[in-house]
Amino acid sequence: MKKTTKIQKPVRVVATSFAALAAAAVLAACGASGEAAASDTEQKGGSGQVEAAAKTPAEVLASTAWETTGAVDQDGEEVPLEDEDVATFVGWAYFDGDGTFRMYELDDNPKMQGDWSVDAAGSTRHIVAKDEAGEVMFERDSDIVTLTEDEFTYRVFPDEKDKSVYLDIVHTPTDHAEPAS
């Protein structure tokens, strides 16, 4: 038995080493700079969630229409969508792959439109809200807490000077047809 054990150990070490070398070769063939790893798994900003994905964070955001379905405060307590600090963020959101977006109130009235982007890490969404003439009204960066095909949650701060108080605005996919403009 001892001879078998002695033989199996080196075989396991060789097999494990071979597997590690094969994985390194695959990463090297794909570009190795972390981009290959990013295409296999996406690190979700702020939440530590990792999800196997073939889509970039921007592609995930543009893959569906989103509905605001909840809000949670810094203590993990649910906050009603009617709350004055949340209501501004409630509605339907449509992010197009060309970097444009439209948002509507839940009664289908237009809320805002403009341009959007998500950083490569999927940790920040940037929007540029524009009026009907295309003039910039405001820009906003939001920390992304979760971005998967099942949930898009970003963080807002009612008082930008106090980062200890925040609201996570939760969106889920919807099949709600985009209102006609």
**Strand runs labelled E in the chain:** 41-43, 50-52, 65-73, 92-95, 100-104, 110-118, 124-130, 136-147, 152-156, 167-174
Q: What is the pLDDT along the chain (181 residues), one digit of tens a residue?
A: 444 444 343 433 333 333 343 433 333 333 333 333 333 333 444 444 545 448 999 999 999 999 999 999 999 999 999 999 999 999 999 999 999 999 999 999 999 999 999 999 999 999 999 999 999 999 999 999 999 999 999 999 999 999 999 999 999 999 999 998 6
What is the reported pTM? 0.70
- Asked if 80 and 70 count as a contact pair (C-beta separation under 8 A), the reply is no
Tell me how far apart the alpha carbons of residues 150 and 167 are, in angstroms, rounded to a whole number: 19
